[in-house]
């Protein structure tokens, strides 16, 4: 009976080690995902700031000059 108990404890320790490794792997994965999201948000913020330069500019006569097609709109 004592032998099977030791065997069961050894199996449980092995199982615990496997689970701990899986938790570590998942934590690294989630950390990488969080880093990617943070970098993506920073990049998106930078793109928004860069896009502000692309807004139409008002000419002195009140018309809008669009950078894309040059047509005047009132």
User: pLDDT digit string (tens) for 27-70?
Assistant: 999 999 999 998 888 887 777 676 666 665 555 565 655 555 55
Q: Where are the domains of the chain?
A: 2-73
Place of tokens 């994965």: 29
Q: Are 48 and 38 in contact (CB under 8 A)?
A: no
User: What SS3 class is residue 63?
Assistant: coil
> Is the full-model pTM beyond 0.85?
no
């Amino acid at each position: 009976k004592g032998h099977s108990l030791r065997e069961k404890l050894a199996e449980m320790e092995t199982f615990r080690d496997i689970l701990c490794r899986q938790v570590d792997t998942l934590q690294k994965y989630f950390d990488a995902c969080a880093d990617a999201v943070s970098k993506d948000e920073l990049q998106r913020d930078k793109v928004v700031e860069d896009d502000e330069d692309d807004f139409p500019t008002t000419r002195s006569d009140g018309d809008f000059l669009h950078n894309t097609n040059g047509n005047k709109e009132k």
